[in-house]
Structure 1
C-alpha cells in the first residue's frame, strides 16, 4: 500500500543514449544502462535454439496496451535489456532504439526498459512508489498521454509527475532561472528556464550529439585504415606469460546493427579518453604536428590519435568541419543549417524577453555526457565572451 511520504519516489530519466533510474533524494542514480535493446524475432529463436532460456533480463514483449501505429506489423520478439544482456552476442539479434528524432517511436521497447529498471535494477514494485519521469522539452501532448497511460494502466503507479529535463537540471543546481545546455547522445538542446518553466520559444536544438561525434571518430579512424574489432569477434590467447595472440572468431549470423553497436561502444570509449575541445577553432595546419596520444584497443593493438582528438569535439562549435571527414557526406546536405554551440546559446537567449537575458547569460548550465567533454566549458565561455 502506498503511504505518501513514507516511501521514496522513483526517478527515471530515459535519454537517447542511456537510461538513468534511482530514488529521489539520493545524489546519483542507482541504475544506469543503455537505452537500446537487443531484439530477436521469435521466428529466428525457434529455429536457432530452444535450449537457451535466458529470460532473466529479457522482458518478453507484452502487447497488452492498445497498440500505436508503430507497434503494428511485428511478430512476437524477445527483447534483451541492460548492458550485460547486450554485451552477450546472440545470433540474429538486432540492436534497436525506442527513439526516432529524439521522440519515442516504439513504446514496446520503452516498456521493456522501464520493466528492467523496476524489476531487475531497483528491485521494487512500481505499485508502491510515486514516479517522477524526466521528459525532453520537445515532448508532445500525445507522448505525455502515452507515458501516463503506460505508467498507470500497466505499472499501476500511485502517482506520476512528468518534469522537463531542463527544469530538473536547473533545480538540481539550485536555480529557478538558467540557460540549460544539454549535450546528450542524440542531440544538443539549449533551453531557457525561467521561474521553473521552460520558455518554449527560446529552445534551440542541434542533431550533433555524442553518438554523432562517435560516428565521426569511427569514420575518421576507418579512413586511416584503423578497423575497430568488436569485442565478440576475437579471443586473446596467452602464448607466453604477458604475451597474447589474437585469434579471430567468425559468427556469420551476427546482425549489422549489433556489430555497429559493439564498435560504437569501443569508439565511444576512445572519444571519452582522448578527445578534448580545442582552445581555439580547429585549423588543419596548426594541428598537423600535434603530439599523438596512444590508445590500446581491446584486441591488443595500440593506435595513435593525433589531430582528431581536437577536430572531433570542435564539430560542436563548427559543424561545417564534418564535411572534411571521409564517409560523413550524408550529413553535408543539412550541415549548413546546423549551428555551433555558441550561436545556439546566443540565438536562444535573444529569443527571450529582454528583462531576463542578463540573468540567463550569467547562469549557463552544462548538462549531459557530451557537455562534460574536457575543456568544453572553457571553450564555450571564451567563444561567448568574444561574440
Structure 2
C-alpha cells in the first residue's frame, strides 16, 4: 500500500464520516465479497449502501428438451431465504477466497447495477481480498471487472491493511474472525508481512459444534435434541412447555421440492440464529463453575420447541481458544492463541511491541459476547515477555467491526493520494494481467 506513514496513521475522524471531494471526483465504488455477505457502496461513505448474502440459490428451467436449459441465480435478501421448488444453494467462496467463478459476475451485477443502481462503466471499483488470496484470483477478478463490466479503473486491496486503516492505523495486528476463517495478519506501515499470516477454519468448527450439541440434546438437563426445521417448511405450530417435544405441522406441498443443499443451508441458518442469540465466550478461560454461574438464555426454535441454555452455551465459543470439549487430536485446526503465537513468532522482535499496541479486532464472529475480553486476556498471557502496552481496538458499533475491510476501502479510495494507484482500463489493455501484481502490492 504505497501511502505515507503520516497518511496511514491519520486520525480516522478526518476521513470517514462524509464523502470527500476526492471521492466525488472519481465516484469510486467499494466492493467486499465475503463468505457471509457482500458489501457495496461509495468511497467516502461510513457504511455500505448494499449488504446482501453471498450465498445464492439457483434453479434450473427446461424449455422443450433436457439440452435446452436455463439456470437462474437468485440473489439478495430473498434470494436463498425464499423457498423455491427445486432450488439448490451455493457459495462461491471457500476458505475466504473465490473457488467458483461462475456466479461472481451475477453477484457483482447485483451489487452494482441492482443494489446501487450504477453504471459500472462510469465508476472505478476497489475490491477487497484476504491476505492469502492467490495471484490467479486477483487477475481473474480484474479481468471480470474490466472485460465484463467495463470499469474505467480497478484496484484490489488486502483486508488486513484495510481493517487497520479503518482503525486509523498503519501498523497493526489484525485479528479477523469471519464466517469461514479466523485469521491473524501483521501489518507494518501499510503492508502485510506475509510470513506472519496465520489462519484457521475455526468458525465452521464452532458452527459444527453448536449443530451437534443442539441436535443431540442434553440428557443431564432433560432436553431432547432440537429439530432444526426452518420456518419456510412449517405450516402451523402449537405452544409447548420448555423441553417438551414440539407440536408442528409441515407444509406437505414443499417436501418434494426441497433440495438437500437448501435444507442444509436452512438448518445451519437456524444454528447461526441460535449462536447469535445464546452463545458467549468466557473471558478468563473455561471453568465449569464460572460457566454455570452465568445467566442462562431461553431460546425458541421455529418448530415451537424451546429450552433454557446454561453453561453449555459457552462451549461453541470456547472452540476458538481450546479444544478440550472436542477431545483434542492432530486433525483439529489451530486455535486463536496458537494463531497469534505463530504470527508474532514469524515477525521481527523489534516490531512485536508496536503490533501488540495496535491490535485490531474485526469480523462478525468477533461480536460474540466476551470475545474481545477473552482475546485481551490471551494476548496478555502470550505477550508476557514482550515489553509493550497492550491495546485492542474493538469498536462497540457492530457495523464498524462487521464492515471494517469495506470501511477501510471506503477511506482509502476517497484519498487524493490514492489516485495514482488505480489501474486504468488503458493500462489493463496495454500490460494485461501482470499489471495487477505490479500495482496492487
TM-score normalised to structure 2 length:
0.73
1:165 and 2:159 correspond: yes
Does 2:342 match 1:347?
Answer: yes
Partner residue of 2:311?
307
For CA contacts below 8 A with separation 6 or more, give which structure has more relative contact order.
2
Is 1:100 the equivalent of 2:104?
no
Match runs of 1:167-206 below 5 Å: 167-206=161-200
- Residues 25 and 5 of structure 1: CA distance in aligned 2, closer, same or farther (over 3 Å): closer
| Cα distance in 2 between the residues matched to 1:323 and 1:226 | 23
SS at match of 2:118: coil
**Residue 249 (str. 1) matches residue 251 (str. 2):** yes
Q: CA deviation at 1:290?
A: 5.7
1:334 to 315, 331, 334: 331
CA distance in 2, matches of 1:236, 1:7: 53
Tell me which of 61, 64, 69 is aligned to 1:42. 61
Distance 1:212 1:23, change over 3 A: farther
Evaluate the alpha carbon distance shift between residue 47 and residue 164 of structure 1 in structure 2; reply closer, same or farther with a 3 A threshold. same
Residue in structure 2 matching 1:115, options 109, 116, 127: 109
Moved more, 98-107 or 369-378: 98-107
Match of 2:214 in 1: 221
SS at match of 2:103: helix
Over 3 Å counting, the alpha-carbon distance change for 1:46 and 1:124 in structure 2 is farther
Residue 80 of structure 1 corresponds to 74
Q: Distance in 2 between matches of 1:322 and 1:115?
A: 42
In structure 1, runs of 5+ residues without a counterpart are 49-74, 325-331
Within the candidate set 357, 360, 367, 1:362 is matched to 357
Give CA-to-partner distance per residue, 1:310-361, whole Å, 9 cap, x none: 111010011343348xxxxxxx6621xx222122112201211122110001
Paired position in structure 2 for 1:59: none
Aligned equivalent of 1:67: none
Q: Distance in 2 between matches of 1:94 and 1:333?
A: 34
* TM-score, length of structure 1 as denominator length: 0.83
Relative distance call for 1:47 and 1:218 in structure 2 (3 A) is farther
Give the match's secondary structure for 1:83: coil
- Residues paired across the two proteins, number: 345
Q: Give the Å deviation of 1:76.
A: 4.5
Structure 2: gaps (5+ residues): 1-21, 218-224, 240-245, 383-441
Per-residue CA shift, 1:191-228, capped at 9, x if unaligned?
A: 0000101000000001112x432232121100001111
Q: Distance in 2 between matches of 1:284 and 1:255?
A: 41
Return closer, same or farther for 1:123/1:212 CA change in 2, 3 Å cut-off: farther
Stretch deviating more after TM superposition (195-204 or 290-299) = 290-299
1:285 deviates by 6.6
Contact 1:231 1:262 in 2 (8 A): no
Residues 348 and 333 of structure 1: is their aligned pair in 2 closer, same or farther, counting only changes over 3 Å? closer
**Aligned partners of 1:46 and 1:310: how far apart in 2?**
54
Aligned match of 1:372 in 335, 346, 367? 367
Q: CA deviation at 1:238?
A: 9.1
Structure 1 residue 122 displacement after superposition = 1.0
Cα distance in 1 between the residues matched to 2:24 and 2:315 = 50
